[in-house]
Each structure stands twice: as structure tokens, then as C-alpha cells.
Amino acid sequence: MTPPLPHALALVCAGLFAGGAMMQSIVDHPARLGAESAAGIDQMQRSLRHADPYMPLLAVVGAGMAIWSYLVGAGLMDLLAALLLVAVVPFTWALILPVNRRIHAFKPGDANVTEVAGHLRRWGRFHAFRSVSGTLALMLLAGSSILESYVV
């Protein structure tokens, strides 16, 4: 039987992570790309300042809870979800954070439009991995919950 507390916390963290990541990928980032470069970079800088502290925390806590759930009796789906969530952390450090730093360094008045657009597109491609990984982790944890309710 899946332990209720760690599994539930993993499910909540994965849901918040996946929801935030998908919101960025599907709604916010396309709007940034469609805006004038100065407006897009300004919005991106503001968005990153708000999201940066939460997304890694949700991924790490969600992965930790999913591992705990697995260790105390949940199935392999919880462990796979943990691996998907934890995978976004080194990916973010290696690929997304350098782009974030470049984006934060731009001043809307001095930004080279072509360079800004390139960094925004690159960020969007990298961020898609986080959206997919988080959503797959959420699906695995939800599937584990559903399967568990049928087994009991």
C-alpha cells in the first residue's frame, strides 16, 4: 500500500511544479516571444525573479517525498517520478541558469534585439524539458494513486 503522506506531498509538489512549468511554456513564454523585445525581456526578468526560488524547491521536495514513498512501500512509479523531478535540477543548473543570467544582464534600453530573441527562444526550448519532465512525474504519481485505489 502506498504510504499516504509522502505520496500525497510528492503528488502536490509535482502538480505545482508541472502546473507552473506548463504555464510558462504554454502561456507566458509565447506571449514574451510575441511582444516587443524590450517588453519581453522586462517581463521575463520579472517572471524569473518570482519563479526562481520556487521551482527548484518544488522539484527537490517532490522528488524527496516520492523517494520516501517508494522506500516505505510504494511502487516503482513513485521512484520513476522522483527521478524525473530530480533530473530537472542539474539540467537547470547546467543549461537554463546560464541563459537566465544572460537574460537578467540585459537592460531593456541597450538590449540587442536579435541577441535577446535568441536567448528567449533558447530558454523556451530548454524549459520545455522541465515542463515535460514535471508533467510525466505528475502522471506517474497520479497513476500510482489510481492503481493503488483499485488494488486495495
- DSSP one-letter string for 31-86: HHHHS-HHHHHHHHHHHHHHHTTHHHHHHHHHHHHHHHHHHTT--HHHHHHHHHHH
**Buried b / exposed e along 98-110 (16+ C-beta atoms within 10 A):** ebbeebeebeeee
Tally of domains within the chain: 1
Query: What percentage of the chain exceeds 90 in pLDDT?
Result: 56
pLDDT score of 42 more than 90: no
pTM of the model: 0.89
How does the average pLDDT of the chain come out, rounded? 89
73-103 pLDDT, tens digit per residue, is: 888 999 999 999 999 999 999 999 999 888 8
45-63 pLDDT, tens digit per residue, is: 888 888 888 889 999 999 9
Query: Domain residues for 65?
Result: 4-151
